[in-house]
């Protein structure tokens, strides 16, 4: 599906890229030699950038519309830079073992955490985990990510490394721990750690699982 999007790119008069030149100057210069490419990012709502467009505070399209006051109010009670925000995108799924390791890894950090778990994945959360960690953590089905990442309480973003999430974290200056799953996410994780030096990529063990100790260490 992803590759098919590029089958006719050579026929385009313009190619607009959701990135910005200073972030990927070498890539942009190289690609512009073979394609009419222009970087137009970061494509975040104006409120979080230059604030030139009145009332432009969120993306025009959201897959979910849920009351966000609970998680924002919770964040507002936490010290600056004290919360780990864990969210892995709308497409990523994990098996029971990986969900257990994520849960125990977050617990082991002894930090506050805000963990976004899709409804379809809720049953994979270890029994009693939410109740036993209610003083430290909040588990929700959806979050207003721009509001969350811009909140002063956030100190780390534990992410799948999707491009939108990566750019948003860069804009708000939030360090990242990246657990890539597919498509461009492994490349994004490489850049986060080795090129931009704004985070680290987790390592999988011999069973293909990211263990709780690895999560805690990162």
Residue 128 within any structural domain of the chain = yes
The whole-model pTM stands at 0.90
Q: Has residue 27 been placed in a domain?
A: no
Cα–Cα distance between 24 and 190 in angstroms, integer?
13
How confident is the model at residue 7, as a pLDDT? 80
Residues of the chain with pLDDT under 50: none
Residue 82: predicted pLDDT: 98
**Rounded to the nearest 10 degrees, how much is the dihedral formed by the CA atoms of 169, 25, 50, 166?**
-10
pLDDT in the model for residue 118: 93
CATH of the domain at 146: 3.40.50.2000
Look at residue 160 in the predicted model and tell me its pLDDT.
98
Counting every residue written for the chain, the total comes to: 218
Looking at residue 207, what is its pLDDT? 93
Domain total for the chain? 1
Tell me, yes or no, whether 11 lies in a domain. Answer: no
How many Å apart are CA 150 and CA 36, to the nearest integer?
33
Specify the pLDDT at position 54: 73
Q: What is the pLDDT of residue 41?
A: 87
């Amino acid at each position: 599906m992803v590759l098919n999007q590029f089958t006719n790119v050579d026929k385009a008069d313009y190619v607009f890229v959701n990135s910005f030149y200073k972030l990927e100057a070498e890539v942009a210069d190289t690609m512009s030699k073979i394609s009419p490419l222009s970087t137009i990012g970061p494509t975040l709502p104006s409120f979080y950038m230059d604030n030139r467009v009145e009332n432009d505070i969120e993306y025009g399209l959201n897959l979910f519309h849920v009351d966000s006051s609970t998680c924002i109010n919770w964040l507002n009670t936490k010290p600056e830079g004290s919360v780990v925000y864990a969210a892995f995108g709308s497409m990523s799924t994990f098996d029971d073992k990986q969900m257990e390791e994520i849960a125990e890894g977050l617990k082991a950090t002894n930090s506050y955490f805000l963990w976004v778990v899709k409804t379809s994945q809720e049953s994979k959360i270890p029994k009693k985990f939410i109740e036993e960690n209610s003083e430290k953590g909040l588990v929700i089905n959806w979050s207003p990510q721009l509001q969350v990442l811009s909140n002063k309480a956030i100190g780390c973003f534990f992410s799948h490394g999707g491009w939108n999430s990566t750019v948003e974290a860069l804009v708000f200056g939030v360090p990242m721990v990246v657990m890539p799953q597919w498509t461009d996410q492994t490349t994004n994780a490489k850049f986060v750690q080795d090129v931009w030096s704004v985070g680290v990529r987790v390592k999988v063990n011999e069973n293909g699982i990211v263990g709780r100790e690895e999560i805690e260490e990162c």
